[in-house]
């Protein structure tokens, strides 16, 4: 009996060797189970484009806990009160109805890259051949002492993922006394959406100008200077919001006292504020870190930029804010959507046994609203550099708006409506 089992074992091993001279037989495009974790700008786009690029033949599952997509871009307009969150909320229905993607409203608890199985919070086990993770960022609450407690006490909140916190922050702003201080702290880069803290300052200042003109926004920036669109923001602050926005660079927030609403800074004296919108340092989303993918400083995921496969695990592709970015590549929703298309095309090529596109291209376009209706943009184009095996911004391309305008505000909404459709419709 024992001998027979041993023999069988050997036999299976031999079969395995025969099946594929260089490892186990690979799944093909039609048979592969492709699973996407995370239905944000990166994940939802990846799911849709895996279907499009495979001529609707790939089997794609999207795991996302939220019932609807809520856009982080433009959510600062909700903080300032000129828009409602419902205007930024879109159904996931078309991904299944029009594109044949299997939707699972669930969260990934654990990934086993060896057996290629995902354990969901519901207890279900989902096997995969190819896995795409677009987990967004995790906020490192412990990087500011007392922040977790202050959050639990309802004193501080971040609103750095659009949703209930976005509305809650607007409520704190509306409840603030005239003459109050709305503090926004900016962590050291890289963090999700570089210009967003400064855009938020504009939206809050716009509200204050109208409703509470004796108040001010205080920006405590851990960086040496404004990290994006600096000259444009400075000009807008001086012209549109004089006395309403105070900007302090090199201000690293190290602690917060929820009882006294006091912010402790690394170097300068303590600051008191009425609304404390403290943004801690960030890392790749939990599931990426837990799976051992965050091999850049323990915070971000190194990827092969030709297919966005993690350098830590084969057949796991990581997109969006979670990756260790290339030089001058921002962590933005637009960029996540672009990562997704390169990854989707590469996965389709690999499963077809085709060479992966040797020269992918990425763009970034980011509109920031400096008032409820006027916007400025920053843009860049990133070409893959074969020698350096990374994306590099094309010198002389890209750039900034010359000044804020209503036209760019319209384009900002045009960008939103189109990227939402490109991602979800």
Binding site for another protein (CB under 8 A): 48-49, 52-55, 334, 337-338, 341-342, 344-345, 348-349, 352, 354-355, 357-363, 365, 377, 379-383, 386, 393-399, 401, 407-408, 410-419, 421-422, 425
CB of 419 to another protein, least distance (A): 5
CB of 337 to another protein, least distance (A): 6
Q: Among residues 57 and 296, whose Cβ is nearest to another protein?
A: 57
- Most distant CA atoms of the chain, gap in Å: 88
Q: Among residues 140 and 416, whose Cβ is nearest to another protein?
A: 416
Q: Among residues 89 and 413, whose Cβ is nearest to another protein?
A: 413
Give yes or no for a contact between 400 and 422, defined as CB atoms under 8 angstroms apart: no
CB of 330 to another protein, least distance (A): 14
CB of 275 to another protein, least distance (A): 31
**C-alpha dist (Å) from residue 195 to 185, 209, 362:** 13, 21, 19
Q: Among residues 82 and 223, whose Cβ is nearest to another protein?
A: 82
Alpha helices by DSSP H, listed for 247-324, are 286-290
Reading the block at residue 17, the tokens are 């060797």
Q: Among residues 194 and 404, whose Cβ is nearest to another protein?
A: 404
CB of 288 to another protein, least distance (A): 24
Q: Among residues 280 and 333, whose Cβ is nearest to another protein?
A: 333
CB of 384 to another protein, least distance (A): 9
CB of 313 to another protein, least distance (A): 24
Q: Among residues 324 and 338, whose Cβ is nearest to another protein?
A: 338
Q: What is the DSSP letter of 126?
A: E
Q: Among residues 215 and 374, whose Cβ is nearest to another protein?
A: 374
CB count, 10 Å around CB of 219? Answer: 23
Q: What are phi and psi of 395, to 5 degrees?
A: -65, 140
CB of 342 to another protein, least distance (A): 7
CB count, 10 Å around CB of 258? Answer: 18
Give yes or no for a contact between 417 and 73, defined as CB atoms under 8 angstroms apart: no
CB of 425 to another protein, least distance (A): 8
Distance CA 105, CA 101 (A): 12
Q: Among residues 303 and 344, whose Cβ is nearest to another protein?
A: 344
Distance CA 404, CA 377 (A): 8
Distance CA 138, CA 160 (A): 10
Q: Among residues 118 and 366, whose Cβ is nearest to another protein?
A: 366
Query: Strand locations in 46-160, DSSP E?
Result: 59-63, 68-70, 89-91, 102-104, 108-112, 117-120, 125-127, 130-133, 137-139
| CA nearest to 189, candidates 285, 327, 381, 302 | 327
**C-alpha dist (Å) from residue 399 to 226, 305, 338, 381, 403:** 16, 23, 18, 10, 12
Distance CA 153, CA 157 (A): 10
CB of 411 to another protein, least distance (A): 6
Cα 23–Cα 26–Cα 27 angle in degrees, nearest 5: 160
Distance CA 135, CA 157 (A): 20
């Amino acid at each position: 009996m024992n001998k027979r089992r041993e023999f069988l074992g050997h036999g299976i091993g031999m079969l395995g060797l025969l099946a594929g001279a260089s490892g186990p037989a690979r799944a093909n495009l039609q048979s592969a189970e492709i699973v996407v974790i995370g239905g944000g700008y990166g994940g939802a786009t990846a799911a849709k484009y895996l279907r499009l690029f495979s001529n609707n033949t790939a089997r794609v599952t999207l795991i996302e806990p939220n019932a609807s997509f809520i856009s982080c871009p433009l959510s600062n307009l909700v903080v300032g009160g000129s828009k409602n969150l419902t205007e930024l909320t879109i159904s996931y229905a078309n991904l299944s109805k029009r594109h044949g993607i299997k939707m699972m409203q669930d969260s990934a608890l654990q990934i086993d890259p060896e057996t290629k199985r995902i354990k969901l919070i519901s207890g279900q086990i989902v096997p995969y051949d190819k896995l795409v993770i677009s987990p967004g960022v995790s906020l490192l609450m412990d990087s500011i002492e007392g922040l977790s407690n202050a959050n639990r006490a309802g004193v501080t909140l971040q609103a750095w993922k659009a949703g209930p916190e976005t509305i809650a922050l607007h409520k704190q702003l509306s409840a603030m006394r005239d003459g109050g201080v709305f503090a926004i702290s900016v962590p050291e880069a890289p963090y999700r959406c570089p210009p967003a803290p400064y855009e938020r300052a504009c939206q809050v200042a716009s509200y204050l100008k109208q409703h509470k003109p004796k108040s001010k926004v205080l920006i405590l920036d851990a960086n040496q200077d404004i990290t994006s669109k600096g000259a444009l923001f400075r000009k807008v602050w001086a012209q549109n919001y004089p006395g309403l926005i105070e900007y302090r660079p090199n201000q690293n927030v190290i602690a917060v006292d929820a009882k006294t609403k006091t912010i402790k800074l690394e170097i300068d004296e303590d600051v008191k504020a009425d609304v404390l919108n403290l943004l801690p340092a960030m890392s790749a989303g939990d599931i990426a870190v837990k799976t051992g993918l965050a091999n850049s400083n323990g915070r971000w995921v190194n990827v092969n930029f030709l297919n966005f496969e993690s350098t830590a695990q084969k057949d796991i592709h990581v997109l969006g804010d979670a990756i260790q970015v290339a030089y001058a590549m921002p962590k933005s929703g637009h960029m996540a959507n672009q990562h997704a298309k390169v990854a989707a095309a590469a996965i389709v090529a690999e499963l077809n046994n085709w060479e992966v596109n040797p020269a992918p291209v990425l763009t970034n376009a980011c509109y920031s609203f400096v008032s409820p209706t006027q916007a400025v943009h920053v843009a860049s184009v990133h070409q893959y550099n074969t020698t350096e095996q990374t994306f590099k911004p094309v010198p002389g391309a890209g750039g900034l708006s010359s000044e804020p305008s209503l036209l760019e505000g319209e384009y900002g909404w045009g960008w939103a409506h189109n990227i939402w459709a490109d991602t979800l419709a």
